[in-house]
Structures are given as C-alpha cells and as structure tokens.
Amino acid sequence: EVQLQQSGPELVKPGASVKISCKASGYTFTDYNMHWVKQSHGKSLEWIGYIYPYNGGTGYNQKFKSKATLTVDNSSSTAYMELRSLTSEDSAVYYCARMVYAMDYWGQGTSVTVSS
C-alpha cells in the first residue's frame, strides 16, 4: 500500500525557517516525482515544485523559487521541503504528493503556522 507520511505541525516565528518531511512507503521511491502543494485558507491549492528522487532534479513554481528548497534522502525514502524567511503569508497546510498522470497519492498534510 502506497503511503506518504508527513511530519507534524509546526509553529515558527517570523523570519525563521522550517523543514517538512514526507516519508514514502509501498513503492519504489526513486521511480516517481514527488510534488509539493500549498493550501491556504482551507481552500486554494498552489503547486510549489517537484523533485525527481532518482537524480535529485527539481522544478519550481517561479513564485516559490526563493521560498522553498526540495531535497530527498533516498536511503530513507524521504522527501524534504525547507521554507525560509517565513511570514504570515506562509501559514498554510503543505502537502507532498506523488505524481504519475496526476497526483495519485497525497500525504496527510503538515500545518505550518507563522506567529510571534
């Protein structure tokens, strides 16, 4: 059974960074792109970027290029997203999702709250 298990909720101060993890199981991690999606205000979805674990290749939404960095650890089948210089606009739920023809499996989401 394919599963994507994300790390727990984060409360961070403005200006700080946070690193979210997404541990994959039930499939060959290096065979599929891993995408990251932001959901703000409980509604709208925005694509942040993707990483191809096989070679570490990445692609980013221009809007998030200076905000997010995607990495992987193939030894543990885990994808990571680091968000930096956080502001209140970054408060949201962040999802990892495996993509084949579409995003067929999603993590449970990680809530990030930016507050002093």
Residue 76 Cβ, how far from other proteins at the closest point, in Å?
A: 22
Positions 62 through 101 that interact with other proteins (CB under 8 A): 62, 95, 97, 99, 101
Compute the distance between CA of residue 60 and CA of residue 49 in angstroms, rounded to an integer. Answer: 4
Say if residues 63 and 14 touch (Cβ distance below 8 Å). no
Residue 75 Cβ, how far from other proteins at the closest point, in Å?
A: 26
The neighbouring-strand residues paired with 6 are 22
C-alpha distance from residue 52 to each of 25, 26, 29, 98 (Å): 16, 17, 9, 10
- Contact flag: residue 103 with other proteins (CB under 8 A): yes
- Contact flag: residue 34 with other proteins (CB under 8 A): no
**Binding other proteins by CB under 8 A: which of 7, 54, 91, 109?**
109
